[in-house]
Chains A and B, each alone.
Chain A
Amino acid sequence: MGDKVILLVEDNPVDVSITQRAFKKANILNRVVVMQDGVEALDYSFGGGVYAGRELDDQPILILLDLKLPRVDGLEVPRRIRADERTKLLPAVILTSSREEADVVAGYSLGANSYVRKPVNSEEFAEAVRQLGLYWMILNEDPPVRGG
């Protein structure tokens, strides 16, 4: 379990840094793979673009998605992941500063497993990340991986 990666889709390096620090402080030692935008995230997930030929059996244990991303919108990523047979069971959590109701509803309806608002307070933020990681990586079993 510990060799599985956490896919963090986030274009803000400050947020990336804070999130990584929160994982570390919560003793979650999985490698955090950071994608700068939606296109990169999808390429990684489906072995396209610069990630052509990547071993697709090695899927992330958790995807954390920022909603506001360059190029492909954050909501588009979970939609595409859910639409594909290989990745549809991956846990995806929308991690955003938006509190817009429309975003929340859209996120859930597109297959996000969870929707977490990033608090400004760094202690609260660290606590939210810790709980998310624990919930999805420890309480949830591994998703069945295709092939094998």
Chain B
Amino acid sequence: MIALLLLAGCVVGGADEPRPRDLASSWEVDRLRVLAIRAEPPEAAPGTEVALEALVAGPPGLALPSDRVWLACAEATPLGCPLDPELLTGEPTPDELVAAGLIGLEPRWAPTYTPSAELLSDADPRARENGVYVTAEVILLPEGGLEAGALDFNAVEVATKRIVVSETGAPNHNPPIRGWTVDGWPLPSGATALVTAGEAYELGIDVPEDAPEAYQSMDTDGLLRDYTEALYATWYATSGELLESWTLHPWHQATWIAPAVEGQEGVWWAVLRDRRGGLTWIEQPFRVVSSNRTG
């Protein structure tokens, strides 16, 4: 009977099925991704123009798509801003595109969004103070564009961001990052970090102590409550291994183990968010060497 069981097990097998540990970690930039979208300012008054920028990343050697479609909408669905794909594949007029919510078409049209001056005219005091959200969306078009009716969700990278529109007297700002550190040493801007294969490093970002902003938010009873931002950083790398995906202010150091392949080049990214829509990022290239870790 035991022999029968073993035989049955061999037939059923399953050793080739992917295991959870085979799945990529979120810090690992092994495919085309949008890591962040920055709005400047992150919290705007009605009628104020907001500039948008996406941090698009990919593994070394991957050509990043330059064709990016930007949309904005007040009511987003789980799939983002509603959009007829034929608008992207056909030849619509600029007015049709704007009416459909288009706010940018990179590389020719830099994305900006200006909330209507009347956006909050009918809002209650709490919404005026705390703000309402408008969703901005970026779509990275695959090479060759989209074919109408054949939308492959995994072939198109889509990212959304909420723009806060309020009438507050103290609007939010994007948090600052002053630079990179490696094992506590600051890296000069524009330099490439040389790292020793297989060694562990303490990556860090230099964030001012007073970076978290104090702000007020109106509660459901109409009372203004005092808060302080709770910043956190998200870490990414093209290779090696990051042991922490997130760090909470004021501890912004993540352990990274360099890849074992000498000569390999890559990039680190850190995205700092303030949990109110404000964010900043910083990136740092690195190259793996056999010795002499240098900043």
A binds B: no
List chain B positions with a Cβ less than 8 A from chain A.
none
